[in-house]
Amino acid sequence: MKNMFSLEGKVAIVTGSSRGIGRAIAESMASFGASVVISSRKLGPCEGVRDQILANGGKAIALTCNTGRKEELEELLRVTLETFGRLDAVVANVAVNPHYGPLSTVSDEAWDKIMAVNIKSNLWLANMALPEIARQGGGSFTIISSIGALGGNTAIPAYNISKLADVALVKNLAVEWGPKNIRVNAILPGLVRTDFAKALWENPATLAATLRNTPLGRIGEVDDLGPVGAFLAMPAAAYITGQSIIVDGGATTGSPFA
């Protein structure tokens, strides 16, 4: 019987994979047999992740890529195909949030940067990568969104809006590319202990509220997300597309009245 939980022979690009959730997903994919392209804006940290994967017996290369620049995304695809000859899976994990506070205080510059990096660059990457994945007979494209997409607040509202737009992007790409056997999904993490979310989990009030409303009683760790990202690229996930996979310890499940 075919191993439905293997990525042997597959090639995956994971953007923003020099640390945090992206790194955890890349390392998990490599552990299941994928050849992984590690990428972020700085080469040194990418090489560190690559070297760790190689030391563990996996396969990986390290490349620089600022996903906000179309020409760098094109180069990322070119080198990946030149090196491995194929592409089967992409995890789009890059996001920015230069603005904390209500929408009434967000500058045009901050708004434009959030929308450009968190949404437009994902569309760029999809439009470049999905035709290549289709050439292999199908595969997967996963965007890292956020449970912030599911509601509103005054702490990171512009970011939340961009993440809801990512969910809509996933649904529309799933419809467009499903006939080519390409599955497109989103992962919606809750509060995870990453440098990116440090301003939230280091805030005592935010942390206390999160723990109070999370049935599992803790915030997430990056290793909670790694295997989920790998799973969505596996044959075991062959009938999952257009979905938002929530990974939040149950934070969005409980009732506000209990």
Report the alpha-carbon distance of residue 170 to residue 90 in Å, rounded: 13
Quick one: which H or E segment has residue 210?
helix 204-212
Residue (of 21, 8, 37) closest to 234 by Cα position? 8
62 near 50, Cβ under 8 Å?
A: yes
| Residue that the structure tokens 């959730």 belong to | 21
Write out the two tokens for 139.
């595969």
What is the Cβ-side half-sphere exposure of residue 34, based on CA atoms within 13 angstroms? 34
Q: Which positions are annotated as active-site residues?
A: 159
Report the alpha-carbon distance of residue 35 to residue 55 in Å, rounded: 14
DSSP state of 116: I
Residue by residue, DSSP assigns 173-204 as HHHHHGGGTEEEEEEEE-SB-SSTTHHHHTSH
DSSP state of 57: T
Quickly count: other Cβ atoms within 10 Å of residue 61's Cβ: 18
Quick one: which H or E segment has residue 37?
strand 35-40
Residue (of 139, 161, 135, 153) closest to 210 by Cα position? 153
